[in-house]
């Protein structure tokens, strides 16, 4: 590592490469269209040999750009736990990181619970943009709009033409999951979800569940709709409680991690899956292949969702044309061993 007495500067790189400081800066910022391939290779070789590290603070002052994007989750931690612990968010953030690392950007990952925390964050940090999950049309959103900052919303049904969005076929996912259970002979099907808010992802999945039941002529039973906590302990406890419901034959959980917890609780008290109760999840995360039996689920590509969100942000910041400001990713059924055919 270079010591403080021998810090390598852009001028040093430029002198050795026999080019201007501007040319070196263009290579560092990956503005390759302005520099020949030979020059790029020469400069990057020198940078690597001299272990040059850009001064991010200085770049921020000069360009009014921090190269930091906020990955912000809007939930109350005491109700939901750390969103980093959620396997979906881990995969999603992994996709973002892959894209940002190629472009020389950094992430600030933060959960905020209210407008005051949001304002404090944005006033104290010079973020170049925000990728945000779990946003609804409320006072929090109105506060966010007051800031002149690029925004990409994830899994949000907020309608605003100025904002970029990446979402999912949530209604279709709920419909496919429920119809699959119905097609396998199940009629008394439990729907399990975290707290459902109007005009949100979970409401769309619930609408899909109801649509499949109605299409099959099955009455909607409100007693079969569970809004529940999503910690592992809460889901295991719900599984134990559902074991007392002798009338149900199947469960649709709106997240794999919820389904896995319910399965564990059911199995603890001697309920066999799928012989006694069938279960289907949503997300197709790694946990769906670790349960016993392996979990039938609705697939979504969480990593791709993060990758697209990051690319959208980069296109906006680098002033490239964005042809599609709203991307909706597809879902499909992944059939494994947790659903039994009972007809």
The Cα 206–Cα 200 span in angstroms is 10
Between CA 335 and CA 89 the distance in angstroms is 23
Higher pLDDT, 44 or 226: 226
Helix (H, G, I), strand (E, B) or coil at 129: strand
Cα distance between residue 5 and residue 278, in whole Å: 67
% of the chain at pLDDT higher than 90 = 48
User: Which pLDDT score is estimated for 6?
Assistant: 56
Chain mean pLDDT for the chain: 87
Distance in Å from the first CA to the final CA of the chain: 69
Angle at CA 304, nearest 5°, toward 300 and 306? 110
pLDDT in tens, 153-207: 999 888 887 889 999 999 999 999 999 999 999 999 999 999 898 889 999 999 9
Cα 311 from Cα 296, distance rounded (Å): 31
User: pLDDT, tens digit, for every residue of 21-40?
Assistant: 888 888 877 778 778 888 98
Q: What is the pLDDT of residue 249?
A: 97
CA 169 from chain centre, in angstroms, equals 14
Q: What is the pLDDT of residue 8?
A: 77
CA atoms within 13 A on the CB side of 173: 31
List alpha helices for 243-301, DSSP H.
Answer: 256-268
pLDDT, tens digit (0-9, with 9 covering 90-100), for 214-261: 999 999 999 999 998 888 899 999 999 999 999 999 999 999 999 999
Domains of the chain: 4-54 (1.10.260.40), 68-169+303-329 (3.40.50.2300), 170-299 (3.40.50.2300)
pLDDT tens for 108-144 read 888 888 888 888 888 888 888 999 887 887 888 888 8
The rounded Cα 160 to chain-centroid distance in angstroms is 20
């Amino acid at each position: 590592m270079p010591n403080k007495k021998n810090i390598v500067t852009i001028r040093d790189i430029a002198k050795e490469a026999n080019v201007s400081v501007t040319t070196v800066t263009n290579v560092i910022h990956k503005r390759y269209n302005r520099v020949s391939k030979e020059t790029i290779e020469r400069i990057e070789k020198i940078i690597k040999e001299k272990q040059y590290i850009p001064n991010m603070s200085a770049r921020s002052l000069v360009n009014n750009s921090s190269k930091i994007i906020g990955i912000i989750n809007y939930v109350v931690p005491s109700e939901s736990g750390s969103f980093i612990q959620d396997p979906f968010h881990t995969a999603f953030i992994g996709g973002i990181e892959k894209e940002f690392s190629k472009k020389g950007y950094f992430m600030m990952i933060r959960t905020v619970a209210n407008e005051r925390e949001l304002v404090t964050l944005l006033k104290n940090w010079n973020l170049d943009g925000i990728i945000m999950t779990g946003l609804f049309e409320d006072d929090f959103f109105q506060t966010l709009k007051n800031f002149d900052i690029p925004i990409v919303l994830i899994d949000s049904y907020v309608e605003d033409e100025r904002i970029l969005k990446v979402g999912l076929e949530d209604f279709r996912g709920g419909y496919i999951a429920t119809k699959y259970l119905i097609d396998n002979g199940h009629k008394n099907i439990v729907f399990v979800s975290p707290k459902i808010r109007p005009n949100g992802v979970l409401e769309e999945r619930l609408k899909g569940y109801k649509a499949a039941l109605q299409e099959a002529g099955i009455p909607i039973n409100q007693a079969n709709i569970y809004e529940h906590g999503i910690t592992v302990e809460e889901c295991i406890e719900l599984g134990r409680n559902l074991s007392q419901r002798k009338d149900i034959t199947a469960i649709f959980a709106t997240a794999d991690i919820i389904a896995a917890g319910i399965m564990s609780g059911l199995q603890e008290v001697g309920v066999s899956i799928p012989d006694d109760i069938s279960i289907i999840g949503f997300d197709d995360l790694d946990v769906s292949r670790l349960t016993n039996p392996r979990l039938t689920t609705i697939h979504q590509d969480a990593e791709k969702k993060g990758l697209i969100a990051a690319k959208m942000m980069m296109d906006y910041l680098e002033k490239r044309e964005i042809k599609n400001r709203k991307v909706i990713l597809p879902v499909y059924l992944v059939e494994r061993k947790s659903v039994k055919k009972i007809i």
